[in-house]
Amino acid sequence: MPEMTWMEVRDAVNAGCGVILPIGATEQHGPHMPLCTDALLAGRMALDVAKETNMIVAPTVSYGFRSRPCTGGGQTFPGTTSLSGSTLTAIIMDVVKEFIRTGFRKIVLFNWHFENSNFIYDAAYNVFDDRKKDYPDLKLLIIESPFSELKPETMDYVFEGHFPGWGIEHASIFETSVMMYVAPELVDFSKAKDDQAEYYPFYDMLPIPTRISTESGILWKASLATKEKGEMVWKEISQNLIESVNMEFTRWEKEN
């Protein structure tokens, strides 16, 4: 969409095209990957899905909700630049309202930053509730956790038998593998090491103690990442998303 002219967008809308809004973060991803990791992956995945689903991809929301110590290292790393929940919700609401004004009726909100979850649903719910009377054909699909549906055999292969949980899997096996496949020029694998917090409590603390995060910003075993793992999960996730987006919008069309 950012590379299209306004007439091209108008024509796409008139032809029944939907829009995907990728939502990422500007957040530390260890010594081996850049701050744009979540934003870049959200945008690239959205492009792959859009090609097979009659969608166009809007500019990525590149800031996300606060990084949390046990899932992203937290607000102790230079460069991590986060929004409050109310700001993130407000940005998404404004953007979605503009999509609706433009004429889009099929809207996909696509997230790649763990901590954004719920704020995206909240924004979508608020806009939908406000606009549903005026636009009865409006449909919103909210995808907050695209990687949680991998097959058990894929999980076993990627995590080599021990999955630490998606929160701790930050800048580690999964994300490093995916970046090695999608944007290898942005990964310095010589700096990808294994790291671990002293412990991962089920609660948070303020001020943030360093013992519940790591010094490197890697929260698990980045050394086990490979490009092959990245390719495998990328293809499986994009295929799942393509099937889900096509299925839901087709079903909605039949229902109305």
Q: Which residues are catalytic?
A: 27, 29, 38, 113, 115, 170, 175
Shortest-Cβ-distance residue relative to Zn ion: 38
User: Residue 253 Cβ, how far from Zn ion at the closest point, in Å?
Assistant: 34
SS3 124: helix
SS3 28: coil
Report d(CA 62, CA 51) in Å as an integer: 22
Residue from 38, 48, 115, 144 binding Zn ion (CB under 5 A)? 38
Which ranges constitute the DSSP H helices of 103-256?
119-131, 152-159, 173-182, 227-255
- Nearer to Zn ion among residue 168 and residue 242 (C-beta): 168
- Nearer to Zn ion among residue 37 and residue 116 (C-beta): 37
Q: Give the interface segment with Zn ion, choosing from 38-46, 117-125, 136-144, 212-220 (CB under 5 A).
A: 38-46
Which of 64, 59, 65 has its CA nearest to residue 21?
59
b/e sequence 224-255, b meaning 16+ C-beta within 10 Å: bbbbebbebbbebbbebbbebbeeebeeeeee
- Nearer to Zn ion among residue 50 and residue 171 (C-beta): 171
User: Residue 129 Cβ, how far from Zn ion at the closest point, in Å?
Assistant: 30
Q: Give the interface segment with Zn ion, choosing from 30-38, 52-60, 194-202, 247-255 (CB under 5 A).
A: 30-38
- Nearer to Zn ion among residue 176 and residue 240 (C-beta): 176
For position 195 contacting Zn ion by CB under 5 A, the verdict is: no
Q: At what angle do helices 173-182 and 152-159 cross, to 10 degrees?
A: 90
Q: Give the interface segment with Zn ion, choosing from 3-11, 13-21, 33-41, 83-91 (CB under 5 A).
A: 33-41
Task: Identify residues 198-237 at the interface with Zn ion (CB under 5 A).
Answer: none
For position 115 contacting Zn ion by CB under 5 A, the verdict is: no
Tell me how many residues contact Zn ion (CB under 5 A): 2
Report d(CA 250, CA 4) in Å as an integer: 26
Beta strands (DSSP E) in 78-138 are 106-111
Q: Give the interface segment with Zn ion, choosing from 8-16, 37-45, 80-88, 200-208 (CB under 5 A).
A: 37-45
